Structure 1
Amino acid sequence: MSLPSLHSLRTFESVARLGNIAAAAAELHVTPGAVSQQLRALQLSLGLDLFEKQGRRQVLTERGTALQKSVAIAMRQISGSIRDISANAYSAATKATLRVSVPSVFATTWLATRIFRFLDENQDIRMQMLTAVRFEEVDWRKVDVAIVYGNPPWPGFWWRLLQSLPMTPVCSPQLLRGPHAIREPRDLLHHRLLHEDDGSQWRRWLNEARVPHFVESDIYFDNFAMVLQAARDGHGVALTSGIISFRDRDEGRLVQPLTLNVPSAPQYHCICREEGLENPLIGRFVDWLVNQASRPSGW
C-alpha cells in the first residue's frame, strides 16, 4: 500500500489535535470543505475510519488515536529538522535584519515581554523595531512586517487578525475608594473619561451599559501610551483591551472596576506584502507571532 500524502497527514494531525474541522481549516489557511475532502481521501486510502463525530467535535477512533501519535511525532521531527538545517544555513552568514513596525503601546505592553524569546530561538536574525500605529503610517520602504491597528482590506498585502479586542474600563485603584468609588457603570459619570479617539469607543461602551451620557472631554490624546499613564496617575478612566492593560493589571497599577466589555471597531493585525511570506525570515516571524497571539496565555 502506498503511503498517504504528507499534506493529508498534516491535515489529519491538525483536526486530531484541535478536534474541529473549522479550527483546523483556520490553522491551515484553507476552507473547511478542503479539510473534509482531505480527511475523506485519507480514510478511503487507508480503508479505516479515523474519526467519529460527537456533536461539533471530531473524536478519534482507536485506530485514529494510534495514527495520531505517530503522525504528531513525525511532524515534530520534520519541523525540528527544518529548523536545524535553516539555522545551519544562516549560521555561516552574517545575521539577516528583520525590520518590524509596531504601535509603541503594543510594543511596550505585549511584544517587549516576548520578542527576546524569539531572538533567543532565532539567533541568525537581528531585528530593527520601528513605530507606527496605522497602515497609512507605515513606511514600507523600511519595513518587512508590521503590526497595525485598523481594519482591512489592504490590497497587495497579506494580513492576519491577531486577536479580537474586547474593550473595558480600567483605572487606578484609588478610584475604587471615596464618595465616587466606581462600583457600577453610572459611577463613571463622576470621573474624567480618557480618550484617544473622538469619543466613539466610549459612546459604544456607555450605550451597551445603558448609561445616559454626553461624551465630551477636556483633553484628547493621539498616543494611547499617554492615555494609560493618565489612568495610572488617577486622572480618569481609560477604555482599553486586555492585551494592552494586562501587564498594568497584573502588577497592580490598574484595575478593571467593571466587567462589561464591547468589541473594538479597529483591531490589531499582522501584515506584510503578499510576496513577503516567500522570505523564510519573514515567514518564520509571522508564524511565531500568530502562534504567540493564538495561545490562551498569549494576552
Structure 2
Amino acid sequence: MLPSLSALRAFEAAARTGSFRAAAEHLSVTPTAISHHIRGLEEQLGTKLFKRSGRDVVLTEDGQRLAETAVQAFGMLEDAVRALRRTSRKTVRVATGPIFTARWLMPRISDLWEKHPEIELEVVPSYQPGTLNRENVDIVIRWERMSEMPEGAVKLLELSPVAIASNEFLTRFGPVKSPEDLLQLPLLHQRNHWGWLDWFTAMNVRVPGSLRGPVFEDANVLLRGAAEGQGVIVGWLPLIDQDLADHRVVRLFDEQIAPTHGYYLEDRHGSRTRRETQVVLKWLTDQSGRAGIGHH
C-alpha cells in the first residue's frame, strides 16, 4: 500500500528544498508537521530517507532514489492540474506592478468588462513581474529599461522621466534652478538608481561618485513620499498625469526626454492557445494602440 499523499508531498518538498523549515513554508505547515510526516514515512518504508547536516538535511541513497521519482510524479500532477484549470476556467490571471495596475489598467478595466463580460480578470500584484513564480499566471506585464527589453517585445507603454517634488518641498529647500542642484537634495529611488542616472545623463549632468538615497520597489509609495515633501523623485509620464493635474506634485523643469523605460507583455507559452488569454492580450494591445504607445 502506498504511503499517504501528504507524507509523500512533505518528503518531496523537503527533498527539493533541502530543509524541513523551507518545506514547511512552501506547504504552509509547521516544521514539526514535516518532521512527523518524514518519520512516519521512514517507519513505513523501513529505511532512513534523510541525514541531518547542521540545520539542513541531506538525502540518503534510498532517499535520493525515492526523491527522483517523487519530484517527477508531483511535477506531472501539477502540470495536469494546471492544464485542467486553464481549460475549465475563463479567468485570465495577469501579473503586473501596482502603479501600472492603478494608473493604466484600472481606468480601462470597465472597457474589458463591457466587451468581454464572460472573462474574469485576476490581477496578481508583483513588484518584479518578470521574476515571480508564474504558476497559473497567464500574462506578465513587465517594467524595464528600453535598452534592456527583449527583442521583439510587445510594448504597451513608453515612459519618459521627469523630476517632480511637492511645493512644500521646494519651499523648504529653496528654489531649484538647475538639474545640478538636485545632486545636493534628498533623492528617492525606485528599485535601483538607474532612473535618476538616466535622467541626469539625459540632462547632461555628470554624477560624481554614486547616488545616495532610499530605494523603494513600489512607485505608489514614492509618489506619496514626493507629495508629502520627503524628497525629489523621477516621475514617469504619462503615469503621473493625474498627480500633476491635481497639483499633488509639480515638475521642476520643462525637460523633454525621450522614453527611457516602458512596459511590455509576456505570455506564458502554455497559455497562448487559450481563447480567453488571446482575447485579453488583444485587448491590452488595442488599448495601447488607442492611447498611442508614447504619451504624446
Paired amino acid for 1:162: L
Paired amino acid for 2:118: D
SS at match of 1:211: coil
Q: What CA distance in whole angstroms lies between the structure 1 residues aligned with 2:92 and 2:111?
A: 15
Change (3 A) 1:291 1:176: farther
1:280 pairs, out of 267, 275, 280, with 275
1:231 pairs, out of 206, 226, 233, with 226
**1:267, distance to aligned residue in structure 2 (A):** 2.6
**Match of residue 140 from structure 1:** 134
Q: Does 1:294 align with 2:292?
A: no
Change (3 A) 1:239 1:218: closer
**1:216, distance to aligned residue in structure 2 (A):** 2.4
**Match of residue 150 from structure 2:** 153
Structure index of larger Rg: 2
**Match of residue 271 from structure 1:** 266
Paired amino acid for 1:124: E
**1:148, distance to aligned residue in structure 2 (A):** 0.9
Paired amino acid for 1:213: V
**1:252, distance to aligned residue in structure 2 (A):** 1.9
SS at match of 1:117: helix
Change (3 A) 1:165 1:152: same
| Aligned residues of 1:164 and 1:263 also touching (Cα < 8 A) | no
| Aligned residues of 1:105 and 1:224 also touching (Cα < 8 A) | yes
**1:117, distance to aligned residue in structure 2 (A):** 2.4
**Match of residue 239 from structure 2:** 244
Q: What CA distance in whole angstroms lies between the structure 1 residues aligned with 2:107 and 2:258?
A: 25
Instruction: State the superposition RMSD in angstroms.
Output: 2.8
Map Cα deviations across residues 136-157 of structure 1 (whole Å, 9 max, x no partner).
4333222111111134439xxx
Paired amino acid for 2:230: H
Q: What CA distance in whole angstroms lies between the structure 2 residues aligned with 1:164 and 1:218?
A: 26
Where structure 2 has 5 or more consecutive residues not aligned to the other structure, the ranges are: 1-87
| Aligned residues of 2:95 and 2:129 also touching (Cα < 8 A) | no
Q: What CA distance in whole angstroms lies between the structure 1 residues aligned with 2:242 and 2:272?
A: 31
1:253 pairs, out of 248, 265, 268, with 248
Moved more, 95-104 or 182-191: 182-191
> After the TM superposition, which residues 37-52 of structure 1 pair with which residues of structure 2 at under 5 Å, given as runs?
none
Q: What CA distance in whole angstroms lies between the structure 2 residues aligned with 1:96 and 1:179?
A: 53
| Aligned residues of 1:175 and 1:181 also touching (Cα < 8 A) | no
TM-score if structure 1 supplies the norm length? 0.59
Q: What CA distance in whole angstroms lies between the structure 1 residues aligned with 2:290 and 2:98?
A: 22
Where structure 1 has 5 or more consecutive residues not aligned to the other structure, the ranges are: 1-93
| Aligned residues of 1:97 and 1:128 also touching (Cα < 8 A) | yes
**1:189, distance to aligned residue in structure 2 (A):** 3.4
Q: Does 1:221 align with 2:195?
A: no
Q: Does 1:96 align with 2:90?
A: yes
Q: What CA distance in whole angstroms lies between the structure 2 residues aligned with 1:102 and 1:204?
A: 23
**Match of residue 189 from structure 1:** 183
Number of corresponding residues: 203
Q: What CA distance in whole angstroms lies between the structure 1 residues aligned with 2:289 and 2:251?
A: 23
Q: What CA distance in whole angstroms lies between the structure 1 residues aligned with 2:116 and 2:257?
A: 37
**Percent identity among equivalent residues?**
21
Q: What CA distance in whole angstroms lies between the structure 1 residues aligned with 2:142 and 2:195?
A: 18
